[in-house]
Structure 1
Amino acid sequence: MRITVCTKRDLPGCVALNHLLPGLAAHRVQVLMSEVDRAGEHQVPELARLKRFERDVPNRALFERLDALEAPPGPLLSFGHLARRYGLTCRSVREINKGDGLRLLRGFGPDLIISVRFSLIFRDEVLSLPRLGILNVHPGELPRYAGLFSPFWSLLEGRESIGCTVHWIDRGIDTGPVIGFGRLPVDPGRSLVWHVAHTYPQGVAALLDVLPGVLAGRTVPGLRQDGRQRRYRSLPGGQDFAAFRERGLHLVAPGDHRELLGPFTSAPAPLVDGRGRGATAESVALAQVRR
């Protein structure tokens, strides 16, 4: 079976792939990664900080250095080492309904597309490609937390857990039938980025539970979403982040750094930093985060 996995080239996307790809080892897999900046990430300081921790630092200060190593030093693999272990290619795309993204999809001819943190909307041109359809792992409880930044809104509203919904993609946004669900208990002592990185594996586990039936062509019961409960969320702004802080919540906590980045380098391999001195991938990455 040919399966295209669409994710984001960032830390939570890489964590999700580490959980997903072992379950797809029997299939031919293509990985497409979005690298899209939202305008708010350059205008709102809090969004810029999240982008730095989740995307800029892992990609530039950690994953590139790990990819250069012959063997992965930790239990979690960088994008490059994932590609080597599972015999696939990880390609970055900036659009999916035209250009290189659409060309890569057509050339591969997927039977199924799995979207996990992709950040790009699939239009008719792509929706009609895979014969089995497109599944999405959404990091929020649908239909109540449709849209963007669902873990943030869940924490801000004092929820005891963050849902992660597996649903079919249709022509709407986060509107398709639900076929699986995972849940992450909220840990008040942890930051937003910790919750985001740990929410996706819950949804991936739920997806892998139903995937055999999907690939076998069996009817997988889907629950139609109740539109009356739907709330679509957008990117938070300055006032939302102020309210987040007032609740005693944190976007990035120093104590989370080692837990999120450490599994990639749990047996640190010697590297050389920009000044020619000995370093480890983890120490370089953490230094970049703290600047």
Structure 2
Amino acid sequence: MRITILANRDLASNMAINLLLQQLPEHRYAIFLSAKVGKSENLPEPLKSLAFMEQTLFNQIVYPLIETQQYTTNMGNPPANTSLPLKSFQQILDSGIPISDIQNINSPSSYQTLAAQNPELIISIRFGQILQEAIIRLPKMGVINLHSGKLPDYRGVMATFWAMLNNNENIGTSLHFIDSNKIDAGKIISSTQRRVDYHRSYLHNVLSLYPEGVKTIVAAVNKLNCGEEVKTQNMDLSSGQYFSFPNEVTLSQFAEQGKRLFDYDEIPELVAKYR
């Protein structure tokens, strides 16, 4: 199957793409990356620090480092009993899968670029732009999106943050079709759920969602590839809420509850996944 992946140039997207490629290596892929999610100008300082962890640190420092032979040699053998090492975006590109940045997916030139891939299915994971009808109608099998939150309860941005702020017991993912330009609004294919680890950071909890979340993508792709029906259920948007980026007030509330967006001591654990 010809699959186009739309993702964001961040740590979580990279991990999810790696997991997907490891579990579905038989398909033909093209990957297009957005630079950010949502209108992220004038973010509060805590969110800027989070963006450094999720994007700048890995894109500009860690990934270039792991791409060098010196890093590979000096780090020695990977830890025992772990999954396959993850690859940077550049290493994925070097493996033969095309990766491109995309500024405006709905522009005529971007449409032509995607159409040239002749995708049978588009998979969206943390992609930072809203798809319009021309792109949605492009693949014959449709567009599926993995949302890192429970739908319709937590539509929009940083669903795990809002769930943790509300002291929810569980967080999860929702795999759904995109059939319009409404955000997180299409028919739900499947979902996952796991307990929040309040001893760990928001970032850790977000990343913990993707192993099971990607499995739902794999199951849906396998069904579509075999010509089987992918069962769905309608989403009642009136029973949920749309969330945007937290502001200074909600970020302060989060911190006052003893919760953290990220921990710097998580960095070695994350880097180790790439060796």
2:130 is the counterpart of 1:121: yes
Distance 1:193 1:100, change over 3 A: farther
Deviation per residue, 1:87-135 (Å, 9 max, x gap): 2111111211115532321111100000011111110110110000000
Match of 1:255? 265
Distance 1:66 1:41, change over 3 A: farther
Distance (Å, rounded) in 2 between the aligned partners of 1:241 and 1:32: 31
The number of residue pairs the alignment matches comes to: 264
Match of 2:104? 95
Per the normalisation by structure 1, the TM-score is 0.85
Structure 1 residue 187: Cα displacement: 0.8
- Unpaired runs of 5+ residues, structure 1, are 267-291
Structure 1 residue 37: Cα displacement: 6.6
- Unpaired runs of 5+ residues, structure 2, are 79-84
Deviation per residue, 1:7-47 (Å, 9 max, x gap): 11111111111111123311110011111375545431011
Structure 1 residue 206: Cα displacement: 1.4
Distance (Å, rounded) in 2 between the aligned partners of 1:34 and 1:245: 29
Picking from 149, 156, 160, the partner of 1:147 is 156
CA contact (8 A) 1:40 1:47 kept: no
DSSP 3-state at the match of 1:137:
strand
Match of 1:195? 205
Distance (Å, rounded) in 2 between the aligned partners of 1:13 and 1:103: 24
Query: Mapping of 1:1-291 within 5 angstroms?
Result: 1-36=1-36, 39-69=39-69, 75-85=85-95, 87-98=96-107, 100-171=109-180, 172-264=182-274, 266=275
Match of 2:81? none
CA contact (8 A) 2:9 2:36 kept: no
Distance (Å, rounded) in 1 between the aligned partners of 2:109 and 2:168: 40
Structure 1 residue 174: Cα displacement: 0.7
DSSP 3-state at the match of 2:141:
coil
Structure 1 residue 230: Cα displacement: 1.7
Distance 1:138 1:245, change over 3 A: same
Distance (Å, rounded) in 2 between the aligned partners of 1:71 and 1:88: 23
Distance 1:228 1:141, change over 3 A: same
CA contact (8 A) 2:172 2:191 kept: yes
Per the normalisation by structure 2, the TM-score is 0.90
Structure 1 vs Structure 2: percent identity of aligned residues? 30
Distance (Å, rounded) in 1 between the aligned partners of 2:154 and 2:69: 40
Deviation larger for 210-219 or 129-138: 210-219
The residue type paired with residue 25 of structure 1 is P
The RMSD of aligned alpha carbons is 1.9
Deviation larger for 72-81 or 240-249: 72-81
Deviation larger for 139-148 or 219-228: 219-228
CA contact (8 A) 2:173 2:209 kept: yes
CA contact (8 A) 2:106 2:135 kept: yes
CA contact (8 A) 1:145 1:232 kept: yes
Distance 1:69 1:92, change over 3 A: farther
CA contact (8 A) 1:41 1:51 kept: no
